[in-house]
């Protein structure tokens, strides 16, 4: 016999007991001023079944963004401040603005040109010149009449612009009133979850900040877009006036003074450290020359065969076939020598990035203090535009392929450092403790536990470094770098669309081949 199944009872949401007194006290504690009004509004929101609860906040509608600022709802403050400013701009254009001012100025300039042409026609002695100037004057007069007509038409639209602005302002105010309580109720729910992270009540400092921001932003924008007057203070920063105040009259600008000072310091540093910089260039050139000799000095069939076999052994026959097709494309179009030079440049850059970056990443992964100190430098290396790297590189190391490799290292090293550090920090502490418990030394722990477990993240960093180094190939051609980047640069200079695209495809195939080989080798190793 089957046992009788237990009946499952479902409790409706309306049957759940709610301590209304505690809830009301909580709402009053959260909102502070006008607590009773918000208690009623929040109850309507809690009991509502539709999309938009039937509540309206008159203070939010009348005070606009100031109400949102007083309640620390800054997202709503900025959104409706922008919308209200847009509405007031339309109202200002309709009341005191001149919508056709630009066309009227153009018409006046054209009218002045008409008078000039007529004066030149009256001063001419040849009939041909008289006819030419008269024709030009007639054409300009037609253009001026057209501009005057368009300006008058736009000025006639001022009442419509005013009505549009008023309608938009009413809509924005109504929208603020309807959604204010719902937005504030969501903030109250977040406050119930974590009161320490959500500001409650109506704070005077927020009201003052909202008023100051509104008074500082709204009038200037409304004035700028409604009053058709060239007010230089709003159009351009008074750089010269500030420079004169700081440096004195006739002593240039802050930009020129700072630029001259930096240039002098860089020249002095380059002169003082010339031997060190020359040694760095010599070391990089030695690595580059070795790779160049191996790739270009060796017979091309040998190089192509080695690359294809490497692809096959690392990533399988499909990648080997794709590698052979890519190399055939490069060779048949005459890019073999410059492509191998590009591979040498990228290879030297990646080799140096890996040799320097992985030990730094291991150190940063094991020392939080060291990573905190180095993080701003890594941020600077990644966020500074690539072209900016070329300026100090030229100043300290000159031009050519070795300085180009140094610029590429600066650009391509951060990913391998960051991802190596991330992988090292991701090794579970329990595994490290178990290895230490079994007698592993610090070197054994690093070599046999931490690095193997962090290897997926490390290889991802190496892959990103390869691709970022390839992306610098075209940029370093600006300072004398060779390879396919030089071909692309020449195509850009002469607007040679075909050669530029063909060279770009060659770089693309090199990037794909390198990526597939590295990823295939990593998967096979795992």
List CB contacts of 458: < 8 A, sequence separation 6 or more: 358, 361, 416, 419, 420, 423, 451
Per-residue pLDDT, 229:
60
When pLDDT is cut at 50, 70 and 90, the band that residue 338 belongs to is confident
Per-residue pLDDT, 234:
67
Task: Supply the pTM of this predicted model.
Answer: 0.64
List CB contacts of 143: < 8 A, sequence separation 6 or more: 110
- Say if residues 394 and 451 touch (Cβ distance below 8 Å): no
Alpha helix positions (H), 157-253: 158-193, 204-226, 232-235, 239-247
Q: How far apart are CA 65 and CA 83, in angstroms?
A: 10
Per-residue pLDDT, 145:
82
How many other C-beta atoms lie within 10 A of the C-beta of residue 483? Answer: 28
In the chain, the percentage of residues whose pLDDT exceeds 70 is 92
| Maximum separation of any 2 CA atoms in the chain, in Å | 126
Residue 209 has pLDDT above 90, yes or no: yes
Tell me the CA distances in angstroms from 520 to 119, 217, 320, 471, one per residue in order: 80, 56, 11, 21
- Say if residues 71 and 206 touch (Cβ distance below 8 Å): yes
Residue 182 has pLDDT above 60, yes or no: yes
Per-residue pLDDT, 383:
81
Task: Compute the average pLDDT of residues 378-397.
Answer: 81
List CB contacts of 475: < 8 A, sequence separation 6 or more: 386, 387, 390, 407, 485
Give the residue from 421, 407, 409 showing the smallest Cα distance to 374.
Answer: 421
Residue 244 has pLDDT above 80, yes or no: yes
DSSP 293-320: IIIIIS-HHHHHHHHHHHHHHHH-HHHH
Q: Is 126 exposed, middle or buried (0-12, 13-18, 19+ CB in 10 A)?
A: exposed
Structure tokens that stand for 153 in this block:
């038409």
Per-residue pLDDT, 15:
46
When pLDDT is cut at 50, 70 and 90, the band that residue 456 belongs to is confident
Backbone dihedral region for residue 439 (phi beyond 0: left; psi -120 to 50: alpha; all else: beta)? left
Give the residue from 21, 24, 18 showing the smallest Cα distance to 38.
Answer: 24
The dihedral built from the CA positions of residue 51, 54, 60 and 62, taken in this order, carries a sign that is positive
When pLDDT is cut at 50, 70 and 90, the band that residue 79 belongs to is very high
> What are the pLDDT digits (tens) for 485-522?
888 888 887 878 888 888 888 888 888 888 888 877 77
Structure tokens that stand for 338 in this block:
């410059």
Chain-wide mean pLDDT for the chain? Answer: 83
Residue 18 has pLDDT above 60, yes or no: no
Task: Compute the average pLDDT of residues 42-58.
Answer: 80
CATH for 273-525 is 1.10.3720.10
List CB contacts of 523: < 8 A, sequence separation 6 or more: 315
Task: Compute the average pLDDT of residues 334-355.
Answer: 87
Angle of helix 317-332 relative to helix 497-525, nearest 10 degrees, comes to: 160
Report domain extents, the chain.
19-234, 273-525
């Amino acid at each position: 016999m089957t046992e009788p199944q237990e009946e499952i009872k479902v409790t409706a949401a309306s049957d759940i007991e709610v301590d209304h007194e505690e809830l009301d006290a909580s709402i009053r504690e959260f909102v502070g001023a006008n607590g009773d009004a918000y208690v009623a509004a929040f109850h309507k929101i809690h009991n509502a079944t539709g999309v938009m609860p039937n509540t309206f906040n008159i203070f939010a509608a009348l005070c606009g963004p100031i109400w949102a600022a007083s309640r620390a709802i800054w997202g709503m403050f900025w959104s409706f401040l922008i919308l209200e400013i847009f509405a007031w701009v339309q109202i200002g254009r309709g009341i005191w603005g001149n919508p056709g001012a630009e066309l009227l100025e153009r018409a006046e300039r054209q009218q002045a040109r008409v008078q000039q042409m007529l004066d030149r026609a009256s001063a001419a002695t040849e009939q041909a010149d008289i006819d030419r100037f008269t024709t030009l004057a007639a054409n300009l007069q037609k253009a001026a009449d057209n501009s005057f007509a368009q300006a008058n038409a736009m000025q006639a639209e001022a009442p419509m612009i005013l009505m549009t602005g008023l309608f938009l302002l009413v809509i924005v105010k109504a929208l603020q009133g309807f959604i204010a309580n719902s937005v504030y109720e969501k903030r109250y729910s977040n406050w119930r979850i974590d009161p320490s992270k959500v500001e409650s009540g109506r704070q005077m400092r927020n009201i003052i900040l909202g008023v100051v921001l509104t008074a500082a932003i709204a009038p200037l924008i409304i004035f700028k877009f409604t009053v058709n007057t060239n007010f230089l203070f709003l159009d351009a920063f008074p750089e010269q006036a500030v420079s004169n105040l700081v440096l004195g009259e006739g002593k240039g600008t802050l930009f020129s003074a700072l630029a001259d000072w930096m240039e002098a310091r860089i020249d002095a540093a380059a002169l003082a450290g010339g031997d060190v910089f020359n040694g760095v260039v010599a070391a990089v050139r030695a690595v580059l020359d070795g790779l160049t000799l191996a790739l270009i000095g060796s017979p091309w069939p040998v190089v192509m065969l080695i690359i294809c076999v490497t692809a096959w052994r690392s990533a399988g026959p499909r990648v080997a076939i794709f590698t052979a097709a890519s190399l055939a494309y490069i060779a048949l179009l005459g890019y073999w020598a410059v492509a191998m030079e590009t591979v040498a440049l990228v290879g030297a850059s990646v080799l140096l990035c890996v040799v320097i970056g992985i030990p730094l990443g291991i150190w940063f992964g094991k020392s939080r203090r060291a990573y905190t100190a180095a993080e701003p430098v890594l941020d600077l290396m990644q966020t500074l535009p690539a072209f900016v790297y070329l300026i100090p590189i030229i100043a300290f190391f000159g031009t050519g392929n070795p300085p180009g490799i140094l610029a590429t290292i600066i650009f391509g090293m951060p990913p391998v450092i960051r991802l190596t550090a991330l992988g090292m920090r991701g090794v579970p502490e329990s595994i490290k403790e178990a290895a230490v418990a079994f007698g592993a030394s610090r070197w054994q722990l690093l070599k046999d536990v931490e690095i193997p477990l962090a290897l997926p993240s490390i290889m991802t960093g190496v892959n990103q470094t390869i691709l970022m180094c390839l992306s610098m190939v075209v940029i370093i051609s600006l300072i004398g770098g060779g390879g396919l980047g030089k071909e692309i640069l020449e195509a850009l200079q002469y607007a040679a669309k075909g050669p530029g695209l063909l060279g770009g495809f060659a770089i693309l195939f090199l990037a794909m081949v390198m990526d597939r080989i590295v990823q295939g080798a990593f998967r096979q190793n795992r």
